[in-house]
Amino acid sequence: MQAIILAGGKGTRLRAEVPDLPKPLAPVAGRPFLEHQMAYWVSQGVNRFILSVGYKAEMIVGSIGARFCDAEIVYAVEDQPLGTGGALLYARAQLKRNQVFLVVNGDTFFDLPLSDLARFHEEKQSDWTMGLFPTRDTQRYLGVTLDDDGRMASLVSRSVQNEIWANGGVYMISPGVLDLIAERFKGEASLEGEIIPALIELKAAIYGIHHNGRFIDIGIPDDYRRAADALRLKH
C-alpha cells in the first residue's frame, strides 16, 4: 500500500512551541511527529510514502531521507503553497498508477486500522472513503452528513449537536477518481472546502467509516502538549 502524507503547511498556530521547525518535525516523545505517523502506517502495511512538503521542505527531506523502516519515501515539493487539495493533486504524479492509495494529514494521527478501512472501501465499492471520529468540538472540526448506507451527502462546518462524527484526516482513494476534477482545480485548493464537495456534486461514491480509535491533532499548542501522553503507539 502506498500513502500520501500532506505535510506542507506552515503550522502558524504552533509557532510558539516549535519556532524553528516545520510542523511535521515537531518533537513528540523524543521523535518527530511525522515519524510516529509513518511508524504506525508501516505497521499497518504501508510500504511506500509520498511526502507532500512545502514549508521548510529541505528540513523534512534532510531529517526523514529516502527510507523509513522498510518503506520507500519520495517527495512532492511545492514551489508555492497549494493548500491541502492542490497538494494532493500535485502529489498524485508520484503515485504508482492503478492502485488504491491512502492519504493522511501531516498534523493529525488517527488510529484507524488499515485492514478495516480497506475492507469497508471494497465492500462499498467506494471511490473515496473518509475515516470519521467522534468529537464534541463541533466548532473546530467538520462534521459529515451520511445516508443510511454510509454514503456522504455533505460536509458540515458547524453543528449545534453535542457530538458529531468528524473528518479524521485519513482517506482511502481509488485510482482515477481525482481525474474527475484535476482540470478544474489548478494551483491552490482546499481538500475539504473544494475538492470533496466537487466530487460529491459529481456523484462520486464517497463514504464515511465510523471509528472510535485515538485521534490526535497537534495543530494548536494545547493539543500538541498533550500529544506525548496520547501517542502510546504499538509499533
| Cell matching residue 150 | 454510509
Residue 63 within a domain = yes
Distance spanning both ends of the chain, measured CA to CA: 17
Residue 235 within a domain = no
Q: What is the pTM of this model?
A: 0.93
| Cell matching residue 28 | 513528540
Place of cell 503553497: 81
Sign of the dihedral through C-alpha 4, 5, 6, 7 = negative
Residue 21 within a domain = yes
Is residue 206 within 8 Å of 130, Cβ to Cβ?
Answer: yes
Which pLDDT belongs to residue 233? 45
CA distance 25 to 47: 21
Using the CB atoms, write b or e for 202-234: b if 16+ within 10 Å: eebbbbbbebeeebbbbbeeebbeebeebbeee
Residue 222 within a domain = yes
Q: Which CB contacts under 8 angstroms, 24+ apart, belong to 55-63?
A: 55/8, 55/9, 55/10, 55/11, 55/22, 55/23, 55/81, 56/21, 56/22, 57/8, 57/22, 59/21, 59/22, 59/25, 60/7, 60/22, 60/24, 60/25, 60/34, 63/25, 63/32
Strand partners, 166: 133, 143
Residue 224 within a domain = yes
Checking DSSP bridges between strand 152-156 and strand 31-32, what pairing results, if any? Answer: unpaired
Which pLDDT belongs to residue 234? 43
Structural domain tally of the chain?
Answer: 1
Which domain range does residue 139 map to? Answer: 2-230
* Mean pLDDT for back-to-back runs of 10 residues, the chain (235 residues): 91 67 88 93 97 94 94 95 95 92 94 97 98 90 89 75 88 95 92 94 96 88 82 54
In CATH, what number is assigned to the domain containing residue 44?
A: 3.90.550.10
Which secondary-structure segment (H or E) carries 206? strand 206-210
